[in-house]
Structure 1
């Protein structure tokens, strides 16, 4: 398959690039500063795009590649891919569910603990020598707190199971009630927030879920509530979040994603009851290799005219 042109949108991992190089004619888009000229020169030979959460397949790119057959996404969320345009042109789209579920769920629990027990702040307290002047302040307990989850899919369910191990009652909001779930369902996000201590965002990003966390939801959660986001940055209205944290209207936040990555609102950097991560939910060696292998498996299946492993479109 070496003659098949594959356009990789941005750096992902050395392992992934090496494995793609073995099988395809790999174009690293970031190495070509003159993007329009590059696309004109290679448009007919590029038959696949490898995208991710930061760099996808927008309409203008799809239109510039007349030979494009498949967009293979390195991750679950496909909000950076114009699915409508792909359907219109008969371009297949794949993603990588399941292989990243455990890591993201683990990180969500880590963020809850780090935020409520102020682990990062306490670490800084010790490093700065302040412990010699007195004990660190008391924090909030996690075990037994009510956890509300927005999006009870694979990742949301995995988070719920982990939180149950901490004795936490679970409730959730999703597009519809899950018939196989015993967790309490709220058809309205504000009602969910009003009835939980910790609100975890684990849904996909679309027009309905963009800024699903707004001032009304934050007010319902209250000054002792905590928001955890391992979904997409645009799930939260960041201006409203910052305002609530600064004014003490929210108890804390653990954030792995931001609306304009890698930019982070400057005010968040100085707030102690916020834990900030750099979109590392899938960031383990094991999972990144598994994701890469699944992307490659989908590409190989497509070009060998076999059923796709994890099709979206």
Structure 2
């Protein structure tokens, strides 16, 4: 009998077909009303859930599914899943570390270049017929100091590109130093901001990182500094960021994620020095294929009673 899988996040039809071909019965429930309908009809048979970190899965939702044994977070993040509640109920939780690290790292370098070289602003000026006015000098990325908040798979991929591709010194903050890496570890996050020309937040969400990048951190980054956030929107205090941009306490910012997304505050939209992408840093054909392949491997291991491939630590 096929394993019944509750799908509470959007994936493409092709990836749904891959799940079906792998032997799973997929129940789409991307919206609250549809989820209630699916649970009412199939709740007693659903054994696994596929979600993402920002959607998560709560203890109350777990209690509606008496046979639930596995929750898969499609990407690396799992902050919205009540992991403690899952463990209390004997429900395993997996995630997808490393599946999109290269894609996110590429996007991050793109945001760095866009911010420093003001590429979107130059494009807009040319389209307005302002060719001569747009021909201005902008800072290089080459040789600048990269500060990283976090040193997981994504941050490592960013550091490698920056250090070996752009000759950027790298300083980072993480819970413990990574002695195998040729970069400088700082035990205090603010010390990273003080040394960085470009500060990249590559951190998961949750209470421990909430508004870690605050007014003090932005001030430490300095008037010529650039902030990039490709982790979780909650890591950056948006009001403090807008104020820092307006008061020229930092030069610019590139945000792939923002607190409260998909809603974006008008104050953010009004600042041309804040470059925005809609949480797409990790989206590429290769990354999505790797993510779904890992989900399938975890589901198959669960169904076979074998060790899960990437359990949440």
**Matches of 2:133 and 2:278, distance apart in 1:** 32
Check conservation: 1:54, 1:80, Cα contact below 8 A.
yes
* Residues 1:168 and 2:157 are matched in the alignment: no
3-state SS of paired residue (1:207): coil
**Distance in 1 (alpha carbons) for counterparts of 2:215 and 2:135:** 31
Query: TM-score, structure 1 length as denominator?
Result: 0.95
Contact 1:151 1:173 in 2 (8 A): yes
**Cα deviation, residue 120, structure 1:** 0.9
Q: Distance in 2 between matches of 1:264 and 1:170?
A: 31
Residues 61-80 of structure 1: matches in 2 within 5 Å?
61-80=61-80
Residues 71-93 of structure 1, C-alpha deviations (whole Å, 9 max, x = no match): 11110011111111111111111
Query: Residue 16 of structure 1: CA displacement?
Result: 1.5
Q: Write the mapping of 1:133-282 to structure 2, written as runs, cut at 5 A.
A: 133-164=132-163, 165-282=165-282
CA distance in 2, matches of 1:81, 1:30: 16
Residues 42-96 of structure 1: per-residue CA shift (max 9 Å, x gap) = 2211110001133221121112111110011110011111111111111111111
Q: In structure 1, how many angstroms separate the alpha carbons of the residues matched to 2:227 and 2:31?
A: 38
Work out the number of aligned pairs and report it. Answer: 311
Say if 1:26 and 1:266 are closer, same or farther in 2 by CA, change over 3 A. Answer: same
CA distance in structure 1 between the partners assigned to 2:304 and 2:210 by the alignment? 37
Runs of 5+ consecutive residues of structure 2 not aligned to the other structure: none
* Residues 195/269 of structure 1: CA separation in 2 closer, same or farther (3 Å cut): same
1:26 match: 26
Is residue 97 of structure 2 the alignment partner of residue 97 of structure 1? yes
8 Å Cα contact 1:149-1:199 kept in structure 2: yes
Report how far residue 15 of structure 1 moved.
Answer: 1.9
CA distance in 1, matches of 2:20, 2:182: 47
- SS of the aligned residue for 1:302 comes to helix
Q: What TM-score does the superposition give when structure 2 sets the normalisation length?
A: 0.95
What is the Cα deviation at residue 34 of structure 1? Answer: 5.4
Q: CA deviation at 1:31?
A: 6.0
1:300 match: 300
Conserved? CA contact 1:190–1:217, under 8 Å:
yes
- Structure 1 stretches of 5 or more lacking a match? none
1:143-179, CA deviations, whole angstroms, 9 ceiling, x for partnerless residues? Answer: 1111110111111111111111201111000111222
Q: Tell me the CA shift for residue 188 of structure 1.
A: 0.9
The residue number in structure 1 matching 2:8 is 9
